[in-house]
Amino acid sequence: MSKKDSRTERTLNEPNITTSKIRTIKAVRLARRVLQILAASLALSFTWLKFHGLNFAPLLGDLSASFLLRVTLALYYFSWVAGMASDADAQEVIYVEPPDRNRIVAMLALATVGIVIPFGLLCYVQSYKAFALVLSAFLIFNVIIWRLWAYWLIPKAVEGTSDYYRSRGAYGELIELRVYIDNYARGQWQRWRFLTGLLIVVLIDLLSFTRLYQPSNIAGLNTSNDFVLATLMFLFVVVMEGWVWLNRIYCRFARQLLDRVDTEYDLRPKMR
């Protein structure tokens, strides 16, 4: 039995908590199901739109800007979908009290629109200027989604779950909750991540709409403006998604360590 299943079963066996925990699990699984259907639909459309008619043979010897851009889009899309599913799994384990149902529905609708429209536009646009504008708008949307999730959707669940753990002396679970919220959901690294992404996007916009960069002739290197832009977009995705995945992994290991300590030791707050 996995850690997620054992924690869920252990919580369900607690008195007076079965109903609210089941509501939490149902809400998370509904969100995950919507994301899976959306991901599968978009993945098929994305693959056909971006790789249809592309000859892969010449790419073995010459990495083109067009191919790098397609790889960047695929990486960005699948990282986003996998990341949201990972966050849903973590919250299914952590929360005892579910978030407000109406807010969950509103966030699902917003996330669905926010995934379909930006990624659809990123697949459709042909010029780097249009791509830069859509990427800039998507970064702003990303910040809005994060703020709504961390400070509007989950506070009720966090407060209710904290009260439940505290009232029953479940301090190990309470610490795990605080680690997830303080170090991941609302961690200071989120702001530095968005600021770094903003700097890269500003540079992309400058190169797209100005003559700031002039291609140079360097033997054996592709220094065209398109390739430099595609490289910067690839860098944007690697930095933004790599940063969040490193924190997901760190948070998961920290929670697993706390869970192991909690099973072997009696954790209690210090007396002041």
Domain spans, the chain: 3-264
Query: For position 155, what pLDDT does the model report?
Result: 93
**Rg of the chain over CA atoms, in angstroms?**
22
Q: What is the pLDDT of residues 231-261, one digit of tens each?
A: 999 999 999 999 999 999 999 999 889 888 8
Higher pLDDT, 202 or 111: 202
Query: For position 61, what pLDDT does the model report?
Result: 38
Q: Sign of torsion, CA 93 98 103 106?
A: positive
Query: For position 63, what pLDDT does the model report?
Result: 58
pTM over 0.85: no
Confidence of residue 15 (pLDDT cuts 50, 70, 90): very low
Confidence of residue 55 (pLDDT cuts 50, 70, 90): very low
Find how far residue 138's CA is from the centre of its chain: 13
Query: For position 127, what pLDDT does the model report?
Result: 76
Task: Tell me which of 201-210, 234-243, 257-266 is least confident.
Answer: 257-266
Query: For position 268, what pLDDT does the model report?
Result: 82
